[in-house]
Amino acid sequence: MRVPEERLRAYSNLRRDFSEEEFINLQPIQRGGVLTEEARRAILEFGDGYSVCDWCPPKTARLDMITDPPIKQFYEDLATFLGMGVARVVTRCREAKFIAFKMLSQEGDTVVLDSLAHYSSYIAAELAGLRVKEVPNSGPPEYRIDLATYASKIEEVKAETGKLPAAVLLTHVDYMYGNVADAKAVGKIANDYGIPFILNCAYSAGIMPIDGKELGADVIVSSGHKSWAASAPTGILALSASLSEKILSKSSIEGDLSKRRFAAKELALLGCTVMGAPMVTLMASFPAVVKRVERWEEEVQKARFLVDELERIEGVRQAGIRPKAHTLTHMETEPFFRVSEGHKRRGYFLYDELRSRKIVGIQPGLTKHFKFNTYGLSWDQVRYVRDAFHDIAKKYQLNVR
């Protein structure tokens, strides 16, 4: 079948509207994935499909065995950096969760997870054939996960099913409020019960220091394109040495006619995972990532500064735990909503005003509440954002204290 030329023209000269060179992008899921200069250079070098496979060792033809480029070393360094025994790169954080769920459970088992978990945690559990038992949060204004309840939820599962949960999952930093949960406390509860503890570090590992051993994590999952200055799709699956054999068990299937076997391949990974450009961006950014986590406190200071400055607009209030311990921030902005009710562009006025000031990333149409992320912005850029919000507030006669 032929595809018409005019349709094919849509794929030439692909350009992004919001380049980092022109706009300040506050998109909550994008800040930690902005590439380093080294990563952008690496794309130029390794953009071709199987380019990392030039020197794939014939004896053990497997991604994690490649030494040029140094993927083997990278996996080792990645595990060390996260305080874990073994690391693998998979396509996405959700895939890492699915792999852990699948390999640690039997059909019909239960996973205990926090009620602020990302939807992909639920879907990964569903695909793995698991039920979920949720740990509640306190609701407004803090939405704090009641961590001690993990123990009672584990007991509930035991009472209902006669079995302990297959795994306990905690979202280290939630996507909605940017609350940082005390992973060590949940790790202790899970370890006391002997239940594998999966820590979802999609919004933490790669931007803030994480030591899986100290936190008692058996599995750490993370997202390269969210928090490791890497292109999508890149997910991280890091395992304690004790669980790695189980989760990374090898294929045992055999062809009934050919008798072919694939005993070197890691079953749950379906063999090799991320080849080419996404993998090399993750690797190329790694030295910068190792350094940048040490500057985490300053990143938090920028977020707190902006929260304080936005709260100078009367009626504006940060949601979630205070003071901020993460750069992902949720603001309740009733005054902007009131403005939107009388504006011809309605809820889109705020987006328009910000965009005209070269700021994007606040979801178009939202004025009552919105999220942003200041991670990686310079102080000058943070102050620029502050000035823009104050300017807009004053333009619409809102009181800025």
Measured in whole angstroms, how far is the alpha carbon of residue 134 from the centre of its chain? 20
Which tokens hold the place of 190?
A: 């899970």
| Between 20 and 254, CB nearer to other proteins | 20
Q: Are strands 219-223 and 197-200 parallel, antiparallel or unpaired?
A: parallel
Closest separation in Å from C-beta 296 to other proteins: 19
Q: Identify the three-state secondary structure at position 156.
A: helix
| Between 250 and 358, CB nearer to other proteins | 358
Instruction: Please give the C-alpha separations between residue 331 and each of 321, 322, 376, in angstroms, as whole numbers.
Output: 12, 12, 19
Q: End-to-end CA distance of the chain: give it in Å, rounded.
A: 64
CA gyration radius for the chain? 23
* Cβ neighbours for 334, distance < 8 A, ≥ 6 positions apart: 315, 316, 368
Closest separation in Å from C-beta 26 to other proteins: 12
Closest separation in Å from C-beta 362 to other proteins: 15
Closest separation in Å from C-beta 366 to other proteins: 21
Cβ atoms 165, 111 nearer than 8 A: yes
Q: Which of 82, 27, 34 is nearest to 290 (CA)?
A: 82
Q: Identify the three-state secondary structure at position 100.
A: helix
Closest separation in Å from C-beta 222 to other proteins: 24
| Between 19 and 258, CB nearer to other proteins | 19
- Measure the CA–CA gap between 308 and 109, rounded to whole angstroms: 45
Closest separation in Å from C-beta 208 to other proteins: 21
Residues near other proteins (CB under 8 A) are 20-24, 34, 37, 40-41, 44-45, 357-359, 378, 380-381, 384
Closest separation in Å from C-beta 359 to other proteins: 8
| Between 34 and 290, CB nearer to other proteins | 34
| Between 44 and 263, CB nearer to other proteins | 44
| Between 220 and 229, CB nearer to other proteins | 229
| Between 22 and 126, CB nearer to other proteins | 22
- Measure the CA–CA gap between 325 and 180, rounded to whole angstroms: 6
Which tokens hold the place of 62?
A: 């497997």
